[in-house]
């Protein structure tokens, strides 16, 4: 019986491989639909907007992640078709999206991508380490090393990778994208320079508008679902004392959750932020219930929704998407914070 099963498995594998070869030769899907000079693959939605703004009409952009974000994304063989047709790819790096991006690039077998998979977060960190960029561009998470837990200090493996939510970091990414596109498409250099300058000015205005919107807020503390909004908080002078989950796909232990409740009470945290791509019940409900015990009516802890911009429906992506979502978050905070 075992031998027969093994034989069927081998046959199925051979047939499947043969089908894949055939699809690669004749039935492969056409991911890029236009005749624009540059075809660009990006790992997730914010990078789509950054590239779309810099490239304008000179590039077609495709995002690997849409409604499933990088934290939960697993490699899909169809991703290889995107990278097979791409002239350049942009990812974040820093362990955030490397696994599925690297696998897709290898499977695509596209020689054009040699040296053209640009990991923007890695480049930013390298720029800081080489003292070509200011050190405050990097935030560090809470250290989990046993001998100094709870401390925030520099370990390369503790770098907060969620850099796109900070405007200064987004600006560095835009500049890196501009320079890369100029290298591979020198005919469009003037357009890339002009487009990037216009978008950098928009990002400056976004930061200025956000700070103006929140300037009178007296309570600027927010507990977020996971550590996705640190750079956003730094940009707009907010404080995130802790998160509901340390890792977005794993909950806290009972002991860790009790510590979170005690910390929130001690700091008088009044605002909890959930995210559109993760459950709004479970720990959120329990934390809310615990913090509202004995609280006077009208002063209860509130739950708001902030989007860390890790996901978006494919048909929602546009050059304007990043700025629109950032402004939506700011509008929520303006309304909610006292």
Q: Measured between alpha carbons, how far is 125 from 132 in angstroms, rounded to an integer?
A: 10
User: Is residue 237 domain-resident?
Assistant: yes
User: Is residue 281 domain-resident?
Assistant: yes
Q: Measured between alpha carbons, how far is 230 from 139 in angstroms, rounded to an integer?
A: 8
Residue with tokens 């594998």: 13
User: Is residue 189 domain-resident?
Assistant: no
- 10-residue averages of pLDDT along the chain (338 residues): 40 37 54 95 98 98 95 89 96 96 94 96 97 96 48 61 98 98 98 98 98 97 95 98 87 93 95 84 88 86 96 96 98 97
Residue 150 has what pLDDT? Answer: 46
Residue 319's domain comprises 210-336
How far from 87 is each of 109, 118, 206, 274, CA to CA, in Å? Answer: 12, 12, 31, 37
User: Is residue 109 domain-resident?
Assistant: no
Q: Sheet of 302-305: strands edge to edge?
A: 223-224, 271-274, 302-305
Pick from 238, 242, 249, 223: which is nearest to 310 by CA?
249
Q: Measured between alpha carbons, how far is 162 from 96 in angstroms, rounded to an integer?
A: 8
User: Is residue 331 domain-resident?
Assistant: yes
User: Is residue 108 domain-resident?
Assistant: no
Residue 142 has what pLDDT? Answer: 57
DSSP designation for 247: B
Angle between helices 189-214 and 167-184 (to 10 degrees): 170
DSSP designation for 251: P
Domains of the chain: total: 1
**CATH classification of the domain holding 301:** 3.40.50.1980
Q: Kindly state the tokens that stand for 147.
A: 């001998």
Residue 279 has what pLDDT? Answer: 65
Q: Measured between alpha carbons, how far is 325 from 331 in angstroms, rounded to an integer?
A: 10
Q: Measured between alpha carbons, how far is 108 from 86 in angstroms, rounded to an integer?
A: 10
Helix/strand/coil for 261: helix
Residue 249 has what pLDDT? Answer: 77
């Amino acid at each position: 019986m075992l031998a027969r099963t093994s034989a069927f498995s081998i046959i199925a594998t051979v047939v499947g491989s043969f089908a894949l070869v055939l699809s690669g030769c004749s039935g492969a899907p056409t991911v890029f639909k236009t005749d624009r000079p540059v075809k660009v693959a990006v790992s997730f939605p914010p990078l789509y907007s950054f590239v779309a703004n810099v490239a304008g009409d000179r590039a077609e952009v495709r995002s690997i992640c849409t409604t499933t974000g990088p934290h939960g994304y697993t490699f899909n063989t169809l991703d290889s078709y995107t990278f097979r047709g791409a002239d350049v790819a942009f990812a974040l790096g820093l362990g955030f999206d490397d696994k599925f991006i690297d696998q897709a690039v290898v499977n695509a077998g596209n020689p054009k991508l040699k040296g053209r998979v640009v990991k923007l977060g890695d480049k930013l960190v390298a720029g800081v380490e080489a003292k070509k960029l200011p050190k405050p561009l990097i935030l560090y998470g809470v250290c989990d090393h046993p001998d100094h837990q709870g401390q925030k200090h520099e370990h390369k493996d503790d770098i907060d990778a969620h850099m796109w939510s900070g405007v200064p970091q987004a600006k560095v990414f835009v500049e890196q994208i501009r320079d890369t596109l100029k290298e591979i498409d020198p005919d469009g250099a003037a357009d890339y320079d002009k487009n990037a300058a216009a978008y950098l000015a928009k990002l400056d205005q976004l930061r200025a508008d956000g700070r103006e919107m929140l300037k009178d807020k007296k309570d600027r503390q927010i507990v977020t679902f996971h550590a996705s909004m640190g750079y956003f908080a730094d940009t707009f002078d907010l404080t995130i004392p802790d998160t509901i989950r340390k890792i977005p796909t794993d909950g806290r232990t009972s002991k860790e959750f009790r510590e979170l409740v005690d910390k929130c009470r001690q700091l008088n945290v009044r605002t909890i932020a959930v995210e559109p791509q993760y459950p709004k019940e479970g720990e959120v409900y329990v934390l809310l219930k615990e913090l509202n015990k004995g609280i006077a009516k009208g002063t209860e802890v509130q739950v708001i929704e902030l989007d860390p911009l890790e996901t978006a429906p494919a048909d929602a992506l546009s050059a304007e998407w990043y700025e629109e979502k950032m402004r939506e978050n700011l509008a929520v905070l303006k309304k909610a914070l006292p």
